[in-house]
Structure 1
């Protein structure tokens, strides 16, 4: 019997994705563990593995297809002994989405497949997106468009189990609801936008007595591209997510910025001595490794800054997991150095090198870039003197580090020249008061200027 391969839910918030690339073609044999496709979600690009053995009989969704909903049949696998040419894709092609529910994801940190297709997915890329509430927004526009005509009472009504349950609770007659899913299938959004008795909300509004139209703002128009030689690239789901999440951060999180100048000479001297002693072990500490350690220790010394804000509670973490900004060809990623406050500098260095290397190769696991209690972004290698970083919700702060440079500086009570860097902390003012943020910056400065304190 043939097996339907469906679009999996690769994260708790995934509702649809892009079938970026097929790595098999019709007629290919696959075995358990073979990678069949790459699927791009709002969180990452994932490798989709086969668990069952068989022959790819039909590919129903072409590579490059956007907005493929979770549960949509994307291919048919013919089992051993079955003639792939005899597989009927018609019924499979008509299969539609399975509505994921919250219960499928609660307490499940790993990606899951709610459709039980027997296939798994491996993450190979990242996004800065943190945990979000799961839920599918109602698509009133799709319902209003009437993508499927109402069915006669004797016809079979195609609807997802979740849509049927919601319809029963609302007293809806499904035969009068227009389906916006594949092949007119009724999904959750359709019944949520319909009124009791089966009449779609849009249709009910159309049959109501006419009222003066309320003034509405025109939809934003796409930016006009100047008549200048150029090239365009389609936004990836990851880039769209980065844009959305950072926009939400600046719009919804009240940022407060606190800046200090930090003398680096003592830290640079200690780094040289430690690297000389670690050379035989093949370890070479970077300045950033030591700053990650300093931030971790500072957060534990000022726990009011090692927090996360939620609508009804303030979460204070008992360890410092530092998300470190790394630039990759696909975009910015923040792999996490866990327990940065208690790790040795050599451990931070080797861990960071491994994470950064795998981040650039798109080989990080979700738990290696999702989470963290605070972030650090260092642009000193580009010669940037000072900048203000955008907080990565739901974290409460991020530290922006500029370049170290020779500057006039008060050394030992006298004006001299020292190696100085500027560090700016961005704090979520809902969770962190200015005085607490100032205390964190003070402790961080002291640890960097007297670095033996972070090793004690």
Structure 2
């Protein structure tokens, strides 16, 4: 982390994502699934990030030899807090090609094995982008530190009910704050904004995730 803050010129962006459509779809899907396989919002958001970064490849890769090297696929790192303290960030390989159900199963498996000290070496190899989700800790927004040699990190907070105007009518909607921390050497604010808006758009059409 010291190296990251010393060497990487960070910039930060955030957006508020309406989760009403995603949660409605998730509840309908969960009625069809056994209890052990039911989805949580994190699975939908991870899949949306993976698809978004596939569409914005300028943030999917590593900074090496004074230049950006794009990754060949989407290896989505998932920050996991360990029982004894500290963090691990195992990766979901080819995360953009997995179904939401497969993302959910892989997420449960990775978290359990990370906390049990049973990760494989291939799963701890450099992810191409990392996601940190602190929603289950009650945090509404997280602005993370980019893990070198990656060039971007997406932060997800807690889903909360907020007053939102929709088609001119005010109502309470479930929303989440999504943030981006990125390396200004590899990308700029316009590129970062495309990533967040693409993620937002995907979550409004959860059936296409």
* 1:132-183 per-position Cα deviation (integer Å, ceiling 9, x unaligned): xxxxxxxxxxxxxxxxxxxxxxxxxxxxxxxxxxxxxxxxxxxxxxxxxxxx
Unaligned runs of 5+ in 2: none
Moved over 3 A (4+): none
CA RMSD of aligned residues (A): 1.3
Select which of 56, 68, 73 maps to 1:302.
56
Alignment partner, residue 83 of structure 2: 329
Aligned counterpart in structure 1 of residue 42 of structure 2, from 288, 302, 315:
288
* Alignment partner, residue 433 of structure 1: 188
Aligned to 1:275: 30
Cα pair 2:76 2:130 within 8 Å, conserved: yes
Aligned to 2:99: 344
Greater radius of gyration (CA): 1
| Corresponding residue for residue 395 of structure 1 | 150
Aligned to 1:369: 124
* Distance in 1 separating the partners of 2:180 and 2:34: 33
Q: 2:178 aligns with which of 423, 432, 436?
A: 423
Deviations 1:56-78 (A, max 9, x none): xxxxxxxxxxxxxxxxxxxxxxx
Q: d(CA) in 1 for partners of 2:27 and 2:175?
A: 17
How do 1:49-128 residues align onto structure 2 when only pairs under 5 Å count?
none
For residue 97 of structure 2, give the secondary structure of its aligned residue in structure 1: coil
Q: Is the 8 A contact 1:308 1:394 kept in 2?
A: yes
Q: Is the 8 A contact 1:307 1:431 kept in 2?
A: no
**Aligned equivalents of 1:369, 1:395: Cα separation in 2:** 14
Would you say the 8 A contact 2:4–2:145 is kept in 1? yes
Which residue is equivalent to 2:72?
Answer: 318
- CA displacement at 1:347 relative to structure 2: 1.2
What secondary structure does 2:32 align onto?
helix
Post-superposition shift, 1:318? 3.2
Unmatched tracts of structure 1, length 5 or more: 1-245
Query: Matches of 1:252 and 1:284 in 2, distance apart?
Result: 41
Q: Which has the higher contact order (CA 8 A, sep 6+)?
A: 2
Distance 2:100 2:130 in 1: 18
Q: Is the 8 A contact 2:67 2:186 kept in 1?
A: no
The total of aligned residue pairs comes to: 208
TM-score normalised per structure 1: 0.44
Residue 274 (structure 1) shift: 1.4
Distance 2:51 2:105 in 1: 19
* Offset at residue 267 of structure 1 (A): 0.7
Deviations 1:78-132 (A, max 9, x none): xxxxxxxxxxxxxxxxxxxxxxxxxxxxxxxxxxxxxxxxxxxxxxxxxxxxxxx
Give distance in 2, aligned partners of 1:322 and 1:335: 8
Give secondary structure in 2 for the equivalent of 1:385: coil
Listed as ranges, the matches of 1:18-57 within 5 Å are none
Higher fraction of helix: 2
Going by fraction, where is strand more abundant, 1 or 2? 2
Mapped to 2, the partners of 1:398 and 1:412 lie a distance apart of 33
